[in-house]
Amino acid sequence: MANSLGKDSCVVWDLVKRASPAIRGFIVTTRFKPSKTKNFMRADAACYLELQMFSNDESISDRLDATDPDRCCDLLKVRPTRPAINEMDVDCWVTGLRCTEGRTRTDYQEIEERDTGLIKLNPILIWHEREVWQYLAIRQVPVNALYAEGYRSLGCAPCSRITSGGDERAGRWIGTSKCGGECGIHTRPLKIA
């Protein structure tokens, strides 16, 4: 499972662990993750030894997040996802994608193969934000402390803001052409032939 450390991943991680404790997971992290996300990640990693971390620590230009967020996400998020998929020898991965999250996620399917040889399962695809919080509350699943501040969608610190309104992802990449969009992990090829 791809565990983004967000609320949706918390639901799906709880579901997959109930289905089979043997299911492995990976977290793609970046140098720009908020400290509360890093703390949450360390706590999760301490509980679940089958969670592996991947990151790209190569140097990048200053403020690339502002000048070219697509490139920044490609370097820091998409590139480390490829070794995660390939080193862990993944043919099928599970995600917390939901089609009600925002404008870029409306056409996802519960089972897809956008990347040849890599099946993606999206088990909570049709859940609404309210249902996610209901599940987390009923199951008493711990979440990132940033949610208590009002965040609804979590990413890197420079690219996440608190917003309200219909689009849950509207606080992502505000002020750029990527606003409310995608980092590329779910839209770019990942499987290395």
Q: Which residues of the shown chain bind ligand SF4 in the complex (CB under 6 A)? A: 30, 32, 65, 69, 72-73, 76-77, 155-156, 158-159, 183
Closest to ligand SF4 by CB, 95 or 153? 153
Residue 97 sits at φ, ψ, to 5 deg, of -60, 140
The residue written with tokens 């995600």 in the block is: 95
Q: Single out the catalytic residue among 10, 73, 156, 183.
A: 183
CB of residue 101 vs ligand SF4: minimum separation in angstroms? 16
CB of residue 134 vs ligand SF4: minimum separation in angstroms? 28
**Contact yes or no for 82/192 (Cβ under 8 A):** yes
Structure tokens at 184: 């590329």
Reduced to 3 states (helix: H, G, I; strand: E, B; else coil), residue 104 is: helix
Active site residue 183: yes
Closest to ligand SF4 by CB, 41 or 156? 156
Closest to ligand SF4 by CB, 80 or 123? 80
Closest to ligand SF4 by CB, 62 or 89? 62
Q: Where are the alpha helices (DSSP H) in the chain?
A: 7-19, 35-47, 64-67, 69-73, 79-87, 129-139
CB of residue 175 vs ligand SF4: minimum separation in angstroms? 12
Burial 17-33, CB ≥16 within 10 A → b, else e = eeeeeeeebbbbbbebb
Question: How far apart are alpha carbons 189 and 186 in whole angstroms?
Answer: 8
Strand-pair category, 118-121 with 111-115: antiparallel
CB of residue 184 vs ligand SF4: minimum separation in angstroms? 9
Q: Which residue is nearest to ligand SF4 (CB)?
A: 156
Catalytic residue set: 183
